[in-house]
Structure 1
Amino acid sequence: MPRPRAEEQPATKKMQEAFWVLLEHKPYPKITVSDVTRTSGLNRTAFYYHYTNIAELAEDAIYGIYEDQGLIAFITRLIRKVNDLDLRDEYTRFVTTPEYRRNIHRVALITGPHGSTSLAKQLRDFIIDTWLELMGLDRTRLNPGQNIVLEFTSNGILGVISNAEAMFNEEGARWVARTQLPETVSKLINSLKDLGEDDATTDGRKPASASPTE
């Protein structure tokens, strides 16, 4: 039996690429196993050998975005001091990287009209977990104030990233720098530690002495 050629893509990669092609042209809920097999050139046996359903394939395809170091750098960069690097040069560098542009386009597909709430939530959770890991915070121990800040900020950043194809060029980078968006995001995310210290005990609850009856 001949060995597969080294340059031949594995079945999972073919199906993931087929998923992105399909998402470009039809809404996520309407993508079927037959669509994936037809677009990838594989059969249903191959699909069900690797995945139980389209949702598992979508999760696997989206996971590849999380490995983009350029995208991770952008997400982490936003919570640090913004005056240590020229924003225009940084954003211009991002948009000249082919992998970054490809993944930004895929984010736009997930958050756009063909995407879904569940897929967008996966990306939002990724952004939140990236920030919390950097700050050394445990998501399960956050108080309501911290969660509100995270939800508000991550939704906003997801919106920015989803529009990055149109925004992240030299002109767009200058516009972003003038909006003070990076400063605002940095202040909000870094306020999480203050909210945790002032408003909650270590288990995320108000101290008993804070009762209004006392």
Structure 2
Amino acid sequence: MPRPRRDSEILPAKERMENAFWDLLADREYHKITVTDIVHEAGVNRNSFYYHYSSLPELADSAIMHVVQQAKPALPTPDSDPDVTWRENMTNLMQSPEHRERLDRLSLIAGPHSSPELVDSLRDFGRLTIIHVLQLPEQIDLKTDLMLDFTVGGMLTVLSRWPELRDNVELDDLLNEDVAVLAMSMCLSLSRNDLLSYWHRIFRGNIGNMPSSQA
């Protein structure tokens, strides 16, 4: 018998089914989840499921897409301080239960209950979200394409380790200047911002004054 859901009388059926997907994925492997499991967990009927989705993979894609869209962080503008933007993002991430729940859910896609299809879906939505947020052109060059793959791959690695990091990482760890510089430099490398200007701003012009042996 399915456990009663607190959201059964509040949320729309589609959102309840996506929540059911995440709850079930936390409990069992993806290939063991069925449409029957989803409708029982969400408290809806099969007609409602097939009204919104043609299959379980379509539900999974929808659930992943919505979490990725909701989780996208603010990005630095050409006139902003990337370090401040990073600190605001990390503070919101660590202090917001909603943000942490999204990380918990996305970490399931990189975890042992997932599948190659779910990982591919997360990778594709991650790429598309970065392209949209940074307003990259439709036709991207090889360097940018490689940076996208590198960035999304890094995100997947962090997500795979999120369960062990969740209770051990502190806000000060994420506000570390070295971490901020690395994260923002990757972001700006993908964007249209001037990366060299960023480095000069971070190091207060010391790059140009460094001895050639250290530059």
TM-score normalised to structure 1 length:
0.69
| 1:91-130 matches, cutoff 5 A | 91-130=90-129
Deviations 1:86-137 (A, max 9, x none): 73x7524322222212211111111111122332333333333333334432
- Report the 3-state secondary structure (helix = DSSP H, G, I; strand = E; otherwise coil) of the residue aligned with 1:187: helix
> What is the rounded CA distance, in whole Å, between the counterparts of 1:150 and 1:67 in structure 2?
17
| 1:64-75 matches, cutoff 5 A | 64-68=66-70, 71-73=71-73
One-letter amino acid of the structure 1 residue matched with residue 20 of structure 2: A
Q: What is the CA-CA distance between 1:152 and the residue it aligns to?
A: 0.9
C-alpha spacing 1:108/1:91, structure 2 compared with 1 (3 Å): same
Q: What is the CA-CA distance between 1:85 and the residue it aligns to?
A: 5.2
Structure 2 unaligned spans of 5+: 1-7, 193-215
Q: What is the CA-CA distance between 1:23 and the residue it aligns to?
A: 0.3
| Aligned with 2:35 (options 33, 36, 57) | 33
Partner residue, 1:208? none
Deviations 1:9-65 (A, max 9, x none): 332222222111110111112211121122223332332222211011112222331
Partner residue, 2:84? 84
Query: Does 1:153 find its partner at 2:155?
Result: no
Q: What is the CA-CA distance between 1:178 and the residue it aligns to?
A: 3.7
**Is the 2:83–2:180 contact (alpha carbons within 8 Å) kept by the matching residues of 1?**
no
C-alpha spacing 1:183/1:46, structure 2 compared with 1 (3 Å): same
> What is the rounded CA distance, in whole Å, between the counterparts of 2:86 and 2:15 in structure 1?
37
Partner residue, 2:46? 44
> What is the rounded CA distance, in whole Å, between the counterparts of 2:85 and 2:15 in structure 1?
36
Higher relative CO (Cα under 8 Å, sequence separation at least 6) belongs to 1
C-alpha spacing 1:192/1:91, structure 2 compared with 1 (3 Å): closer
* Deviates further, 24-33 or 40-49: 40-49
> What is the rounded CA distance, in whole Å, between the counterparts of 1:181 and 1:23 in structure 2?
31
**Is the 1:37–1:44 contact (alpha carbons within 8 Å) kept by the matching residues of 2?**
yes
Partner residue, 1:197? none
One-letter amino acid of the structure 1 residue matched with residue 35 of structure 2: V
Q: Going by fraction, where is helix more abundant, 1 or 2?
A: 1
- Report the 3-state secondary structure (helix = DSSP H, G, I; strand = E; otherwise coil) of the residue aligned with 1:137: coil
| Aligned with 1:22 (options 21, 24, 30) | 24
One-letter amino acid of the structure 2 residue matched with residue 46 of structure 1: S
> What is the rounded CA distance, in whole Å, between the counterparts of 2:42 and 2:126 in structure 1?
30
**Is the 1:109–1:115 contact (alpha carbons within 8 Å) kept by the matching residues of 2?**
yes
| 1:194-205 matches, cutoff 5 A | none
> What is the rounded CA distance, in whole Å, between the counterparts of 2:112 and 2:63 in structure 1?
18
C-alpha spacing 1:175/1:98, structure 2 compared with 1 (3 Å): closer
